Structure 1
Amino acid sequence: MALLPFVDVKPNGPVKAAVVWLHGLGDSGHGFAPIVPELRLPMDAGIRFLFPHAPERPVTVNGGMRMRAWYDIKTMDLSNRADEAGVRESAVAVQQLLDKLISEGLSSEQIVLAGFSQGGVIALHLLARLPYKLAGVMALSTYMCAPDKLAAEATSANKATPVFIGHGSQDPVVPMAAGQQAFHALKNLGFNVSWHDYRMEHSVCAQEVADISSFLQRRLMTMKES
């Protein structure tokens, strides 16, 4: 499998850590790249941001139109929304990118995996199944694929890894209840999840950006002290 292409936003100095951030349906890696300066990270943070592009595929609920998508959506019914085979295929591709960062010299514990909407589905899928420990995971305005298989497939590698779950209380695309379901599924299995909700729709807001910045600084700049 070829490595996923990505938008690469490098820090002004040496790379000390990395964030791999997965976009939502129909977007691309360029969609979230402008958030980096908005995070107002310290100049010496040394955090490299990678924003992969999902492959293009037909999306059933959009009349079979081809667009960038981590998986097909065959129905808007949340219990069957994520095409499980597509989720697993994309999870393999994203793990390949994580593996490459590790092979280039970063520890897995210097990497945060983030995802918005469809991208968050992939991030949560990998959180529970990766064989190595990450610095943190951020799941934004998202839900979980195959929660009924979580207990059987979960590894212990990221049980203690801090997980930031953020959602808009007025989200018309992914109802907040779906994010809460993912939160509780992980919490009930002993994962280290924290819940954050905001008065917004299917998006990010200024307060969430500030909270994300704090999370990244805690996980990637103060790890040796924490």
Structure 2
Amino acid sequence: MTQQLLPCVEINPSTAPDACVIWLHGLGDSGHGFAPIVPELKLPDSMAVKFLFPHASERPITINGGMRMRAWYDIKSLDFESRADLEGVKESAEQVEQLIKAQIESGIKAERIVLAGFSQGGVIALHLAPRFSQKLAGVMALSTYMCEPALLSSEALDVNRETPIMMAHGEQDEVVPVFMGNAAFKTLNECGFKATWQTYTMQHNVCMQELNDISAWLQKLLN
């Protein structure tokens, strides 16, 4: 292992895990932010799913006056085309890839691993999964968008083209406008990926109906 793995909040099932969900938080949050949703998903014990909620490194954020906070990449501008800093995205995607590979080395098969992300975390998930060299169980991209969508067609690998990608967004999202999420959804499908799209009456957050839908999706995927 060439670098230290990202620190994580880890929630283990009561029996030895045979599946894993790696869930990436949004800007300024940490792995602790989404960890409380695990019991809300009400997954049956028989599924034996481990959840990992990694912490992004701290870095200065340009649009926040250079304030340091946990972030997967810098945001230099709110422009649709240049919101995500590609170099930062690549760096974080590499760190998450190492985390996935560590789970595979621990005995969990790649096709039993779900990569999930909210907002900035979703950007990393949508960047990494189409370029990852092993087939994953699924991808969950919540209230998010895509970094440099024009690169996808030339950089994507075939191995995850059939992998289910669940995309969900709030109709009243003022942080990441819904059109940005929908644009990412369209780009994925144009490039031959199997993405689905769902909107909810909410802002830049998650709601109970969305959690219920996530639970059903995970149960279908991993049972």
TM-score class normalised by the smaller sequence: over 0.9
Find the counterpart in structure 1 of residue 92 from structure 2.
90
What is the DSSP-based 3-state SS (H/G/I as helix, E as strand, rest coil) of the residue aligned with 2:216? helix
Instruction: Tell me which of 28, 32, 50 is aligned to 1:30.
Output: 32
Instruction: Tell me which of 41, 55, 58 is aligned to 2:57.
Output: 55
Show the 5 A alignment for 1:4-19. 4-19=6-21
1:197 aligns with 2:205: no
Gaps (5+ residues) in structure 1? 222-226
- Residue by residue, what CA displacement relative to the aligned partner does 1:156-176 show, whole Å, maximum 9, x if unpaired? 010000000000000000000
1:107 aligns with 2:98: no
What is the DSSP-based 3-state SS (H/G/I as helix, E as strand, rest coil) of the residue aligned with 2:45? coil
Structural RMSD (CA): 0.5
What is the DSSP-based 3-state SS (H/G/I as helix, E as strand, rest coil) of the residue aligned with 1:28? coil
TM superposition shift of 1:47 = 0.3
Show the 5 A alignment for 1:1-226. 1-221=3-223
- Residue by residue, what CA displacement relative to the aligned partner does 1:172-218 show, whole Å, maximum 9, x if unpaired? 00000000000000001110101010000000001100000011111
TM superposition shift of 1:16 = 1.4
Q: TM-score, normalised by structure 1?
A: 0.97
How far apart are the structure 2 equivalents of 1:17 and 1:74? 36
- Residue by residue, what CA displacement relative to the aligned partner does 1:39-89 show, whole Å, maximum 9, x if unpaired? 011121100000000000000000100000000000111210000000000
What is the DSSP-based 3-state SS (H/G/I as helix, E as strand, rest coil) of the residue aligned with 1:19? strand
Find the counterpart in structure 2 of residue 224 from structure 1.
none
How far apart are the structure 2 equivalents of 1:23 and 1:218? 23
Q: TM-score, normalised by structure 2?
A: 0.98
Moved more, 1-10 or 114-123: 1-10
TM superposition shift of 1:30 = 0.1
How far apart are the structure 1 equivalents of 2:57 and 2:107? 27
Identity %: 59
How far apart are the structure 2 equivalents of 1:87 and 1:148? 15
TM superposition shift of 1:122 = 0.2
What is the DSSP-based 3-state SS (H/G/I as helix, E as strand, rest coil) of the residue aligned with 2:59? strand
What is the DSSP-based 3-state SS (H/G/I as helix, E as strand, rest coil) of the residue aligned with 1:81? coil
Give 1:92's aligned amino acid.
Answer: E
Which 4+ runs in 1 deviate beyond 4 A? none
Give 1:36's aligned amino acid.
Answer: V
